Amino acid sequence: MRIERLKKTEQEKSEIRAELARVADPPVRTVRVCDPDCDEVCPTCASTNCACCCSKDCPKISITLTADPNFPIENKIAPLAYELKRLGVYEPCWSCEGHNDNAGDLWKIPRVWFYCDSVVHVRLLSDVLMDLGIGELLNVPWQVRVTFSEDDNPSTTFSLEPVMDQPLKITLQALQQDIQVIAERLEEMVKEKASDLKALA
């Protein structure tokens, strides 16, 4: 079967370019990603709630990014949740840093669930994960999977997670190393992909 390119109107093409521009050319962030109401004084510029000292390395993001302070984001997955949120088009809603069982074997894989309004933004993330895998920067391939959060919630949720059909035994430590790599490269690579696609749209 031949793959037929989906025909789009000029209006639809314009909307896609606008969605890509939201990532490729975002407005300058003036408040902190994790907490828009943050009133701590920034050591860099001496003001409050600025963006210049807001980063995935902040020790407080596990509390400030969560919807419930009684359930902080686990430290090893928090940087990735932060970087997703920082891009402004993904809204993390649940995460797990992964866990071993009592025998030391992998029990739960690390993942971040998120909401996203635009399929083109999901495509950007998927493309970045593929490039990281092709570049052999990850221990295992990672993917974006469609899922949902609760049975009574009709909103679609996406999961950023490792592909676990590998022939070799994968350790939690290896997966958590991947988290660090993705968090480090995510913003730069997603913006680059968005810019490239916008030029073609």
Structural domain includes residue 56: yes
Structural domain includes residue 174: yes
pLDDT band at 169 (very low <50, low <70, confident <90, very high): confident
Structural domain includes residue 33: yes
Structural domain includes residue 132: yes
Q: Whole domain around residue 65: which residue ranges?
A: 10-200
pLDDT band at 5 (very low <50, low <70, confident <90, very high): confident
pTM: predicted TM-score of the whole model, two decimal places:
0.90
Q: Which token pair is 10?
A: 């000029």
- Higher pLDDT: 61 or 85? It is 85
d(CA 167, CA 33): 39
pLDDT tens digit sequence for 58-73: 888 888 888 888 999 9
Structural domain includes residue 72: yes
Structural domain includes residue 158: yes
Q: Write out the H or E segment, with its range, that includes residue 114.
A: strand 111-115
Q: How many domains does the chain have?
A: 1
